[in-house]
Amino acid sequence: MSPTLEICANSLASACAAQAGGAHRIELCQNLEQGGITPSYGLIRQVLREVSLPVFVLIRPRPGDFVYSPAELAIMQADIELCRELGCAGVVLGVLDDAGQVHEAACRALITAARPLQVTFHRAFDDCPNPTRALEAVIDLGCERVLTSGGAATAEEGQARLAALVRLAAGRISVMPGAGISAANAAALAAHTGATELHASAKRPVAAPRPVSAFQVGQLETDAALVASIVQQLTRLRHQ
């Protein structure tokens, strides 16, 4: 069986492109240019109406660090409850304490609010100073998977640590490599790390109908052909 491919989609068009390209799951967010934040109610609802893939929603109230105030945690819980009511398949979250450790109490409250949805612990994991300790904490919380680049800028650069994390997890949780994954490296990463799930955005800049002004950020969208090329490489891996 080839690895599962999750595509990070930042719009309805991106979600539809992910499905058209053969992705297996969507992580839905907005503001991908700043690392992603929680998408709007309207976007979540419309994606669920038009896409048949499982949709996991990013629960992140703002860009920046992963140390949240009580008010921000309350917003995150409300967003999680909304995702559950809308019928999402899962949520993607992560909270750290001031020392950069997994904030187990805060995470546990959010995970309790999310159930029975699946929960992915996101790349806040890569900000933790002790990945072994962090992995055990995430496993103890009951998360189904952890998204990580192995603490490096890209998953390819962090593949040695990713392989070590997969071995350490020993089937207790899915370690899902993400960051910089493309058709050029997806199959090799899966083979080297032993990961059974991969995360990519497969995005391209979108040409704006009018020139973008200096204070605007160019738009990025998932490309169905890029998704299909990653799926093709992962499918070939299954037959090797």
**For a pLDDT cut of 90, what percent of the chain falls above it?**
88
**110-162 pLDDT, tens per residue?**
999 999 999 999 999 999 999 999 999 999 999 999 999 999 999 999 999 99
Cα–Cα distance, 146 to 176 (Å, whole number)? 6
How many domains in the chain? 1
pLDDT for residue 152? 97
Question: Which pLDDT band holds residue 207 (cuts at 50, 70, 90)?
Answer: low
Could you tell me the pTM of the whole model? 0.93
Pairing of the two strands 55-58 and 90-93: parallel
Give the pair of three-digit tokens for residue 232.
């093709």
Has residue 108 got a pLDDT over 90? yes
Pairing of the two strands 220-222 and 25-28: unpaired
The domain of 13 spans 4-209+217-238
Please compute the mean of the pLDDT values over residues 188-202 and round it to a whole number. Answer: 96
Q: How far does CA 160 lie from the centroid of its chain?
A: 20
Question: Which pLDDT band holds residue 32 (cuts at 50, 70, 90)?
Answer: confident
pLDDT for residue 209? 64
pLDDT for residue 134? 98
Q: Find the CATH number of the domain harbouring 225.
A: 3.20.20.380
Has residue 189 got a pLDDT over 80? yes
Asked if residues 155 and 189 have their Cβ atoms less than 8 Å apart, the reply is yes
**55-94 pLDDT, tens per residue?**
999 999 999 999 999 999 999 999 999 999 999 999 999 9
Please compute the mean of the pLDDT values over residues 164-172 and round it to a whole number. Answer: 97
**For a pLDDT cut of 70, what percent of the chain falls above it?**
94
Has residue 208 got a pLDDT over 70? no
